Amino acid sequence: MQSLRHANTLSSAKVPHIAVIGAGIAGLRCSDVLARSGCKVTLLEARNRIGGRVHQVETGGHLVDMGPNWIHGTKGNPIMSLAEKTGTKVLDPEEDGALYDASGKRRTDAEAVQMSGKIWDMVVDAFKYSDEHSATIDSRVSLYEYFQEKLSKAGTDERHRDDLLHEAQMWGPFVGDPVEKQSLKFFFLEECIEGENVFVASTYKNILNYIGKTVTETDKVDLHLNTEVVHFDTTATNGVTVTTSTGQKSTFDQVVVTCPLGWLKCNHATSFTPALPTRISEAIQHINYGRLEKLYVTFPSAFWLRGANNTEDKENFPVFTHFHDPSYIDHPKTEAWNQSVVSLAHLPSPCAHPTLLFYIYGPCATHVVSSVKDLDPHTERYNAVLRTFAEPFYSRLPTYSSSDPDCTPTSFLMTQWQNDRFAGNGSYCNFQVGLEHGDEDIQAMRAADGLTERGIWLAGEHTAPFIALGTTTGAWWSGEGVARRICNAYGIDVPEDVDVSVPEDGDEVGVKKDLDAKKADAANMNGLAI
C-alpha cells in the first residue's frame, strides 16, 4: 500500500474504501464525514447496536443513560449544539447540595456550601498550577497530596481539614478513580470546555439517533453489527486486512480503529501485524483507564422531596447529595466509598422520575460490579445485592421510613462497564500518578506516526483535543479529525455542511484558559460528575 506521506500521488479518481471499527460516537462521526465526502465506508461493530458507551436502558419504567449523562462545557461544544437541534432537554443544576459526613450525619447547608466551595477553589488553583508547572512537577505527586499540602499551609484545624479532605475525595467520580491516584503533573488534562456542565435530562437518545442518521437511515455506509474485529494485518501491499472473530477476512484501503482505550490495552500486543510502533504501544500502556459505574435506584415516589402534607417540593432538597466515605458501612479502610448521588426527580418535565443516580468509582465500583457480575438484572438476588449496598445511603435522606412503601425501591439497575470487554473493561481515560509524558502519550496516539503510513488510524475519546479528553465531545472531534485527515490525504473535499469542525492544533497546546473567571459560576463540584 502506498504511504500516506506521499498521498498527493494517489489518483484523484481513486475512491478509497475505508473500514471504521466501532460504532460509538467517534466511529459514527468518522463514518458520517467520510461517507458524505464521497468515500466508500464499511462500519464494523461488535455489538448488536450503535452507540458504544452511549446507550440507554429502561428501568422502573424510565429510560436512563448507561453511559454519559453530561455535556461538559457549553461554549462551542458540538454536542450541546446537537442537543439544541434535536430538542434534547438538559438541566443546568443549582450549585447547592446536601452533605452527609463520614458518620452519616447531615451537615448544615452552610457547611456544605463552604466545604464544596473551598475544594472547588483548590481544584481551580490545581488546574492552573498543573498547567503552568507540569514540566517540573514530580510525577509521583497526586492531586490529593496537593490538597493536603495546601490545607496544612493554611493552618486549618484537624477536624476541618479532615472534612475538607473527605470532600476532596468527591473528585473521584469525575475521573473514575480515587483522587489519591490522580496525577497533579497532568491534572490540566482533566480541564474541560468553557461554559456550564449540563445534565442530559431526556437522555442521549435523540443525540445518538441524529449522529447515527447517515449510518442507519441512508445507504452511504455499509453497517455490520454483531461483527467483532480481532486482528489487523498490514503486511500485504494492497491494503489493510481485517479479520473478524468468525475468521472472515476483508481488505480495505484505510482502517480507523475507534475501539476504547481499555480494548487497546487488552489487545494491542496481539491484534496488530506487524506490531504497533513502540511509541504508540507505550502510550496505550501509559494512560490509565477509569472505573466509573452508575447505579439507578427507582422508588414509587421521590420521598426525599416530600414537604408539607407529603406533597413533592423540589425546593425541599437539592439535586445533589454527597456522602463522605462512610464509617457506618463495613468496607476496606484503604478504599473510599464516598458517593455522589443525583436526584432525577429534579429533572424538567416530562423527564423527571423518582430515581436516585449513584456515581460509583474505583475499588468501590469494582466491588459492586463484581457482586452482580453473574446475576440477571431485576432478579430477586440482583435487587437484594444492590439494595444492601445502597440502602445505608438513601435511608439517611429526608422522610425515609423503612415501613413506608414509598421508601422501598421498585427497581435497581447497575452498569457493568468493568465486565464489558467491548468497552475495554472500564469507562474512559484518566491520568494517574507515575505518568511521565501524559500529554505526549495522547498526542502519540492521536498522530499515530508509523501506523497511518500502514493505513491504520486511531480515534476515540482518548485521542481527543486536550480540552475534551474522556468526553462524548472528544469522541466526536476525534472521529471527525481522522476523517478530515484521510480526506486530505486523498485530495477529497469535505462538504461545507459538515457542521462543527475540530479545534485547530494551536487551541490544544496547554489549557491556558482564564480559570479565575470560572470561580464565579462554579461554586462547587456537583456539575463535574461524569
Q: Average pLDDT in the 268-287 region? A: 98
- The domain that contains 236 carries what CATH number? 3.50.50.60
Cβ-in-10-Å burial (0-12, 13-18, 19+) of 448 comes to buried
Largest CA-CA distance found in the chain, in angstroms, rounded = 77
Task: Indicate the DSSP class of residue 154.
Answer: T
- Please report whether residue 130 resides in a domain: yes
- What is the phi/psi pair of residue 169, to 5°? -65, -15
CATH number at residue 399: 3.90.660.10
Same domain, 170 and 311: yes
Q: Which comes out higher in pLDDT, residue 192 or 424?
A: 424
Mean pLDDT of 55-62: 97
Contact yes or no for 50/216 (Cβ under 8 A): yes
- Find all residues with CB under 8 Å of 70, minimum gap 6, and list them: 197, 198, 199, 200, 527, 529, 530
Digit-coded pLDDT (tens) for 30-47:
999 999 999 999 999 999
Inform me whether the pLDDT recorded for 13 exceeds 70.
no
* 38 domain-assigned: yes
> Does 410 have pLDDT greater than 70?
yes
Q: Are 57 and 81 in contact (CB under 8 A)?
A: no
| 338/433 same-domain check | no
pLDDT band at 272 (very low <50, low <70, confident <90, very high): very high
Does residue 440 belong to any structural domain of this protein? yes
Give a yes or no: residue 511 inside a domain: no
CB contact at 8 A, 526 and 119: no
Residues 312 and 183 in one domain: yes
CA distance 239 to 454: 8
pLDDT at 123 over 90: yes
Residue 268 sits in the same domain as residue 301: no
Q: How many residues does the chain have?
A: 530
Q: Check pLDDT > 60 for residue 501.
A: no
One domain for residues 306 and 395: yes
Q: Which residues, in sequence order, are CB contacts of 340 under 8 Å at separation 6+?
A: 170, 173, 320, 321, 322, 323, 358, 359, 526, 529
Are residues 271 and 377 both part of a single domain? no
Residue 355 sits in the same domain as residue 442: no
CA-to-CA distance for 450 and 455, rounded, in angstroms?
A: 9
CA angle 95, 96, 98 (to 5 degrees): 140
Domain shared by 184 and 245, yes or no: no
Task: Give the model's confidence band at 308: pLDDT under 50 very low, under 70 low, under 90 confident, else very high.
Answer: low
In a domain? residue 509: no
- CB distance 362 to 331 below 8 Å: no
- Asked if 84 and 169 sit in the same domain, the reply is yes
Q: What crossing angle do the helices spanning 438-447 and 278-286 adopt, rounded to 10°?
A: 130
Number of domains into which the chain is organized: 2
- DSSP string over 277-338: PHHHHHHHHHSEE--EEEEEEE-SS-GGGB-GGG-B-TTSS-SEEEE-S-TTS---TTS---
Residues 74 and 39 in one domain: no
Same domain as 316, residue 264: no
523, 398: one domain = yes
Full-model pTM: 0.93
Range of the domain at 114: 56-202+291-422+517-528
Cis ω on the peptide bond leading into residue 274 (within 30° of 0)?
A: yes
Residue 459 lies in a domain: yes
In a domain, 195, yes or no: yes
62 located within any domain: yes
pLDDT at residue number 500 = 53
